[in-house]
């Protein structure tokens, strides 16, 4: 029965995207990889196809070219059963504080693009009466911090968007899942010193996304459960103290 189901993975060159697509393909899904760098996405497509025997195709998409989203959706070989968007760019907070075009890019890549794209799929899913939407947001969106609030603000917007979309689609029986990975060892965090207990591997994120999307109970997940109490504590610090912390 799974054999006929199709995943669209947006962000097909990222480590989390690769790992997630592999999980779906292993479960027998057909996979469409959307990415800006097609050659790089083709490497992942070939790899997943050999490993699983699944059909994997690459579809060009630039998350900043929002005016092309409708054409992109129409141009897919079929409307997918599930869309997972893992697009994200940490960017350079310090640079973004003075370089407004860089700040704009961080905000658009992490919020505007993903939100508008998933919004477009939501309308099609409503028409069809089925579909699952998964957005990879971030714990950075739970509370703004001095070291990455451009990224955090965009992710906070994306989290709110997913929450609203879930609220709207739930009566129709459509699911929206918000994923907050916490630290993940990927290209994006290469070279950073990360606390092992709080840091997941990309494969772990992929498996969690797949199980959360397929298990009908999950709405908002932290990849490592330890993040839930950690973020509760961070959220509960009074602002007059929080503003003085170096975070």
Partner 1 sequence: MTELSGWGRYPWHPSDVLSPSSPPAVPPLMTSHTGLVARGNGRAYGDAAIGERVTLVTRRLDRIRAFDHATGRVRVEAGLLLADLLDVMVPKGFFPPVVPGTKFVTIGGMIASDVHGKNHHRDGGFGDHVESLTLALPDGGIAECSSAENSDLFRATIGGMGLTGTILEATFRLRPVETGWMRQQTIVASCLDEALEGLRASSDATYSVAWIDCLAKGPSLGRSLIYVAEHATLRDLDALRPGAKAFFPSRSGRLSIPLDLPPFALNRHSVAAFNEMYFRVGAMKAGYPFLVHWNPYFFPLDGIGDWNRIYGRRGFLQYQCVIPTAHAGPALSGLLDRISQRGLASFLAVLKQMGPSHGDLSFPMEGFTLALDLPVSEGVFPLLDDLDRIVVEAGGRLYLAKDARQSPSTFEAGYSGLPRFRDLRRAIGATGRISSRLSARLGI
**What is the Cα–Cα distance from 32 to 45, expressed in whole angstroms?**
9
78/187 with CB nearer partner 1: 187
Query: Binding of partner 1 at residue 39 (CB under 8 A)?
Result: yes
Scanning the chain, the segments in alpha helix (DSSP H) are: 15-26, 38-52, 69-75, 93-98, 100-107, 113-128, 149-169, 202-214, 227-236, 239-242
Kindly indicate which of the ranges 46-54, 153-161, 209-217, 231-239 contains the residues binding partner 1, using the contact rule CB under 8 A.
Answer: 46-54
What x/- string results for residues 180 through 199 when contact with partner 1 is judged by CB under 8 A? -------x--x---------
Shortest Å, Cβ 190 to partner 1: 7
Query: Binding of partner 1 at residue 44 (CB under 8 A)?
Result: yes
Structure tokens at 171: 């009566």
Shortest Å, Cβ 52 to partner 1: 9
96/206 with CB nearer partner 1: 206
174 neighbors 131 (Cβ within 8 angstroms): yes
Q: Which of 4, 46, 173, 194 binds partner 1 (CB under 8 A)?
A: 46
Q: Which of 26, 28, 38, 40 binds partner 1 (CB under 8 A)?
A: 40
Q: Which of 51, 68, 128, 216 binds partner 1 (CB under 8 A)?
A: 51
113 neighbors 81 (Cβ within 8 angstroms): no
Residue 110 sits at the vertex; the CA angle it makes with 81 and 23, to the nearest 5 degrees, is: 40
Contacts of 174 (CB under 8 A, 6+ apart): 122, 125, 126, 130, 131, 132, 133
| 151 assigned to active site | yes
Query: Binding of partner 1 at residue 47 (CB under 8 A)?
Result: yes
- The footprint of partner 1 (CB under 8 A) covers 39-40, 43-44, 46-47, 50-51, 187, 190
Which residues are known catalytic residues? Answer: 151
């Amino acid at each position: 029965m799974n054999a006929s189901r199709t995943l669209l993975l947006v962000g097909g060159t990222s480590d989390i995207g690769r790992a997630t697509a592999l999980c779906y393909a292993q479960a027998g899904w057909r996979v469409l990889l959307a990415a800006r760098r097609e050659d790089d996405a083709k490497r992942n497509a070939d790899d997943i196809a050999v490993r699983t025997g699944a059909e994997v195709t690459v579809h060009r998409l630039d998350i900043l070219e929002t005016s092309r989203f409708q054409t992109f959706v129409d141009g897919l070989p079929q409307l997918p059963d599930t869309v997972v968007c893992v697009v994200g760019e940490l960017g350079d907070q310090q640079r973004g504080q003075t370089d407004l075009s860089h700040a704009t890019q961080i905000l658009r890549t992490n919020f505007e693009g993903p939100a508008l794209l998933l919004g477009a799929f939501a309308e099609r899913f409503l028409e069809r009466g089925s579909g699952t939407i998964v957005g990879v947001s971030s714990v950075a969106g739970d509370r703004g911090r001095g070291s990455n609030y451009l990224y955090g603000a965009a992710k906070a917007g994306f989290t709110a968007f997913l929450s609203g979309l879930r609220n709207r689609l739930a009566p129709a029986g459509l699911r929206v899942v918000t994923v907050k990975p916490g630290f993940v060892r990927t290209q994006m965090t290469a070279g950073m010193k990360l606390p092992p207990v709080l840091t997941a591997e990309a494969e772990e994120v992929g498996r969690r996304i797949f199980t959360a999307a397929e298990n009908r109970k999950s709405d908002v997940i932290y990849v490592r459960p330890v993040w839930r109490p950690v973020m509760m504590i961070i959220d509960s610090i009074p602002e007059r103290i929080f503003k003085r912390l170096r975070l």
